[in-house]
Amino acid sequence: MIKYFDKLLLSLSEIENHPILLVHALSGCQLRCFHCLNRSELIEKYHDRYYTIHDVIDYAKKQSLLFDYIVFSGGEFLLSSLDDLISDLTILRQEVKKPVIVYTNGIAFEKVVELHQRGLVDGFHVDMKLPFHLLTSEDFDLAELTLGIPLRDMSIPQRILQTLEYIISVDQGLNRIRSVRYPFLGPEAFAENRLWVEAMNRQYGRHVPYDVHSFIYNTNEEVAPSFQLARHP
């Protein structure tokens, strides 16, 4: 069973021109991204009170005139088991006739494919935290600083890249790619991301938008050292 944060948010600012119902799953996260704002409240804290999908559906039905999309976030929503994800999203589909968007860090490539192919998710918003396509073994420190976990190899960045390419290849208008303007990344990192997204859009004949979001310091964490991509001295 997936546990959901018992505060559901109606937000006007997450997706331009579209009010959303934002639902946070209490599923944890594989990463510890630099200055993650959700860590203390949504990932590390134990919640003895939580919602189930039935509570989410009840609320969504009552407030359905106030939002365009239902957005699932986390932590990492896709860290839940595939069976639980299919079960919850299937019930939701039957009860609430609104497009479903999932915010994801992109690691769970197979779940993204499965949920897309089953028609249970209409849009994936995936973080492109670094120009993953340019990373070499010389960028290990940068990747570890950004993702916040020790990396044995580049398999996690490669999986995220696989997800990014997949959501471009199958986009039907609601997928999106975004970066955070981390203070240790120069503008060339975001320029490279944009070029990669544009190239993939051309390759697959799609128009997935790419946005760069402002970085917000989590004041409980340390300030970053300075890094550069190995291929951008």
Binding site for ligand SF4 (CB under 6 A): 29, 31-33, 36, 38-39, 74-76, 105
First to last CA, the chain: 48
Closest approach of ligand SF4 to the CB of residue 24, in Å: 10
Q: How far is the CB of 104 from ligand SF4 (least distance, A)?
A: 8
- Is the Cβ of residue 57 or residue 78 nearer to ligand SF4 in the bound state? 78
Question: ∠ CA 68-74-79 to the nearest 5 degrees?
Answer: 115
Shorter beta-carbon distance to ligand SF4: residue 34 or 166? 34
Cross-strand pairs, 180 = 213
Q: Which is nearer to ligand SF4, 96 or 107 (CB)?
A: 107
Min dist CB 62 to ligand SF4, Å, is 28
CA atoms within 13 A on the CB side of 26: 21
Residue 174 beta carbon to ligand SF4: minimum distance, rounded to whole angstroms? 20
Question: Is the Cβ of residue 31 or residue 156 nearer to ligand SF4 in the bound state?
Answer: 31
Contacts 24+ apart (CB under 8 A), 218-224: 218/35, 218/36, 218/37, 218/39, 220/40, 221/34, 221/35, 223/183, 224/34, 224/145, 224/182, 224/183, 224/184
C-beta closer to ligand SF4: residue 38 or 90:
38
As measured in angstroms, the least distance from the Cβ of 233 to ligand SF4 is: 27
Give me the helix-helix angle, 187-204 and 155-169, nearest 10°: 50
User: In 10 A of CB 157, how many CB atoms?
Assistant: 23
In the complex, the smallest distance separating the C-beta of residue 82 from ligand SF4, rounded to whole angstroms, is: 19
Smallest distance, ligand SF4 to C-beta of residue 137, A: 22
The token pair at 10 is 């109606």
Return the number of the residue (43 or 168) whose C-beta is nearest ligand SF4.
Answer: 43
Strands 9-15 and 18-24: antiparallel
Instruction: Identify whether the C-beta of residue 99 lies closer than 8 Å to the C-beta of residue 70.
Output: yes
In the structure encoding, which two tokens stand for residue 89, read together? 């999203």
Amino acid at 1: M
Give whichever of 38 and 52 is closer to ligand SF4, judged by the CB atom: 38
